[in-house]
Each structure stands twice: as C-alpha cells, then as structure tokens.
Amino acid sequence: MKKLVVVAATAGLGMTGLGLAGATSASAATDTSDAFRPASLSWHACSADIVNGAKAYDALGPVKVSTIIQCAELQAPLDYAHPNGQKITLEVTRTPHQGSGTAKGDILVNPGGPGGEGALFGARVYAQNSAAMQKAYNVIGFDPRGIGFSTPKLTCDENYSNAPRPEYGTGGKADDAAWLLKTKAYAQACYKKFGAGSKLDLLDHIKTIDSVRDMDTIRKALGHKKLDYYGASYGTYLGQVYATVFPKRVGRMVLDGNVNPKHVWYDAQLDQDYAFDKNIEYYFGWIAKYDNVYHLGNTPAKVHKFFYGLDAALGKKAVTFKDSSGAVSAVGPDELVDGIQTAAYRRSQAVWNSYAVGLAAYKTNDVEKFVGTFGAQTTGGSDDNEFAVYNAVQCTDTHWPLNWNKWRADAVRVNRTAPFETWGNVWFNAPCLYWNAKAGTPVKVGHTKDLPKNILMFQATADAATPYAGALELHKALKGSHLVVQDGDRTHCIVHRGDLRPGGVDSYFDAYFLNGALPKQDTVHVSQLGDPTPPAATAKSTASAEREVIK
C-alpha cells in the first residue's frame, strides 16, 4: 500500500457492516441487495493508466499481464436500500486464463486496506499465480467504491501528508493539540466534499457491508451462482462478512492475513501496537547481526538506541533535501517511523536491506539516500485516496469511542511497553473522533445458517498488521474452516511470498483452487523460509548479536 501518514497503520483490518441494522445473523434471502440486477460486464481494452500500472507485474511471470488485462465498468447503487436511486461506478478488471477452452472459474480478489486499489491487484495475483493456476482461472480485480479508478474517487485534503508533520509525541499537551486540530480539519474536509448534503453522500454508504454487496453485484454481473474469492488483509474481513451475509453463494474462498472479527476496529489498533513493537525490535536484532554491513551497532540494544536517538534528533530538526528539479523532501520523526514500519510488515531481503541502508546513510551523512528512503514532499500534496477511504470505512463500520481521554489513557498505557507504533497509530485513526457520518453495527461473523465449511485461511504467527490471535478467533467463528499457519514468519499475508516448496504455503493455495483439496487436518503448520541475508553480507554475524536477537 502507498504510504501516507503511517504505512497502513491499521491496514489489513477489516470493517464491520451497516445495513443489517444490528442483526446478529444474516440471510441472503432477506438482504436488500437482492433487489438490484446489474448489467452484464462488457470487457474492453483498459485505459493507458491501468495498462501502465499492470506493467509493474509483467516481470513476475512468463505472461505479460499488461498485454492481456481487460476492463469493464459496473454500475451499482449508492444505497442498496434504494436500488433505483443514485449509482456509483466500479472499475473491474479481468486477467484471462491462458489455457484452452473455458476457464475453470473467475477468482475475485481484494488486496485489503481498506483503501487498497484492487483493479491492478487482479493483475498482480494473476502474475504471481503458478502456471497451472494461470491456465485454469481468470482473475477478477476491482476497485471498491470510492477507490482508485472507480467513481466517484474519495479525496479530502491532498496536502495532509506534507512533511514534516507535527511530531506524533507521547501524549504531551502540545503534540495532542496539534494532531487533534489536524485530524479534525481532515474529517471536516471529507464531510464537506462527500458528506450528507453534498452532491453524493458517499460517506454514509462506504462501509464494509456496502462493498460486500458490491462483491455480490459483481458475482451477478459475471453470471455465477457462487463467488470464488481471495482476500488479503482487510480483504479477509470482506470475505468473512460475505460468507456470513451470503453463505450459500460462497464457492471457494481463501483468506490471507486475517482480521479479528471481535476487534473491529478500535481494539484492532491496540493489538497492532504490541505486535509491531515486537517485530521492529526483531528487525533491530537482524541489523545488529549484520553489523559488518550496516555499522549501526552489533547488538539489538545498540541498534535500538541508535534508532530512538535518531527519532529524537529529527524531532528537534528535520532533515531536508532538494533534488535537481528543485523539489524539497523532508524526514521528521513521523516520516522515519512510517517508513521503517514496512520492515515490521514484511520479511524480505529487498525491504529489510533497503531500510537498513537508509538508516546507515544518516550515520554517514548521505542526506540524499537518507531522505530518498524515508522522506516525503514538503509542498504540493499527494494522493490521499487510500487514507480517505481507510477512514471512511473504519470510522463508520462501527461506533468508535468519542472520549479523547479514553484514547489518551489507552495510548499512554500501551506506549509504556510498545513505544514504536502506538502514537502513530492513534493519530492515523484520530479522524474517527470527528467523523460526521452514520456509524453502523458490525455483522456477527459466523452467526448464520448454512455457513460454508470449505473456507481456507492462511496466517503467519508473527504478523503484526493482523496478529495471530485474531486469526484463531476467526477460525473459531468460521466453523469448518481450515487454517495454514507459517510458524515464526513476520510477513503480513503469506500467499505468493516465495514459499514454493512441496507442502509449502503456495502448494496448499493451488491444491485448493485447482482441486478443491483442503488440508487433512483442521490446522496445519509450515516452517518459515528463514530471515533474508543482505546482498552485501560476506562475513558471519557477531556472536553477541546472535545471542541477543529478540524472539
């Protein structure tokens, strides 16, 4: 996901539902979306923007997806309670199978967020699929309402992310006052453009349940009785709500990096704070292990001290850099945390090495590389679509606490033992304190008749964005589901992350979609692939670092 304020602070969390008005169970037969009959999808060549976006995935496999991707526009009701009223337009893509004859099926995919662009995610999933999957399935991507190439596109304040932003702080009065003012202004800007009384009241109709109904509209437009689906991160919440609301319409469903259905959404951020802190400390240990490469300290404690010393220094004076075009970028403490948080999301050589190199650049006074790694523009703004939709969904899926004293007390308590992400997460979500749109009541996931028994879940035990405990809660709620666990892995969402081993993660994914085969046990465990090695590493790690890596 694109960075804005925090690199997807509660990204990967799902939302709750509105429209079922507090129902504890749901039935497809009574859902209001049944009244709407969409037109069939008319596939055509995609716009240059989508084709160019798909080119990023051309190198992932033998098929150049940018040359085969197709597009269609689908009208859906703004409000499913009024199917003949105002319409929105969803951008849908198809990356077609390469086998002969008719495709085995269409897999609808979603990358998470909320706010993640899904039209191009379809091309990415297709490109990462095995050759057998590419021959068998079309992959259907879609930009959920308000997102990306769908219209209208929700944006509120494109200057919101200009750097350096007010320091996240640790609960001080000045920091709190600055951020409360900033987040309130953002919520007000969103309401002015898309709230009640505007030309199109999108803010009251952009909850998880609205997108779930859109998914069923796509199913109808594809002409299928059942929906095959792969959802990652927040996309797992879309899937679990869909399975609860439309249980008889589920074909094959994979959920990867799973949202805790009991912690939507305020408690989800608190869960993340602890998990991200553990992962960043582990990452500091990895940097220490390769002190011969990065020279930031040969023990986790030394790297920790360096990082938090740098954070404090940037709070006093941000580092800026002007490029050859005259554009100025800056790194303050917020930008530093937002950037390196990616290393706590995903275990990979490219990610872990690039941010360690960026930290090392500060120590060697390589300002261009340091700012190039962590910096954000100081003027001119950037696309805030992802952040706007994130708030629009999260803030209205359910009722958030509106008492700032509770937020502050919880943050102060969590920050004592998990200081890395706590306050950044507070301010990422703080627009919900002021959000002016109708809040809904979450669907009680799994509380329905005819719950499908064939849902396949994937989860890493050290996933920080959607912690493992939440996956276990979902596994219990989705009775009959199966769970593939990657022990010790720190990657958020584990399908298509390189585990091609027989009996590895991707083998379970393929067997399920190709043959309907579920693991023989309710829960199966696979080992992680192991931590990456820096490209420049030539010497063995120090013994002290080996001993002190935080598990």
Which residues are the active-site residues? 233, 463, 492
Q: With the C-alpha atoms ordered 120, 123, 127, 133, is the resulting torsion angle positive or negative?
A: positive
**Which runs of consecutive H residues, i.e. helices, occur in 297-348?**
300-316, 333-345
> For residues 108 and 219, is the Cβ–Cβ distance under 8 A?
yes
Phi, psi of 332 (to 5 degrees): -105, -175
Phi, psi of 252 (to 5 degrees): -110, 135
Phi, psi of 281 (to 5 degrees): -70, -35
* CA 143/CA 324 separation, integer angstroms: 35
> For residues 277 and 420, is the Cβ–Cβ distance under 8 A?
yes
> For residues 156 and 149, is the Cβ–Cβ distance under 8 A?
no
Cis peptide before 111 (omega within 30 of 0): no
Q: For the stretch 326-341, what's the b/e string if a residue is b when 16 or more beta carbons lie within 10 angstroms of its beta carbon?
A: eebbbbbbbbbbbbbb
Measured between alpha carbons, how far is residue 324 from residues 318, 328, 332, 368, 458 in Å? Answer: 20, 10, 21, 11, 45
In 3D space, the residue among 439, 499, 416, 412 whose CA is nearest the CA of residue 207 turns out to be: 439
Residue type, 112: G
Structure tokens at 149: 């190439």
- Distance between the two ends of the chain, CA-based, in angstroms? 27
* CA 227/CA 249 separation, integer angstroms: 6
Q: Is 93 helix (H, G, I), strand (E, B) or coil?
A: strand
Q: Is 333 helix (H, G, I), strand (E, B) or coil?
A: helix
* CA 425/CA 270 separation, integer angstroms: 8
* CA 241/CA 255 separation, integer angstroms: 12
Structure tokens at 239: 């899937």
- How many beta carbons lie within 10 A of that of residue 383, not counting itself? 14
Helices (H) and strands (E) in the chain, counts: 18, 13
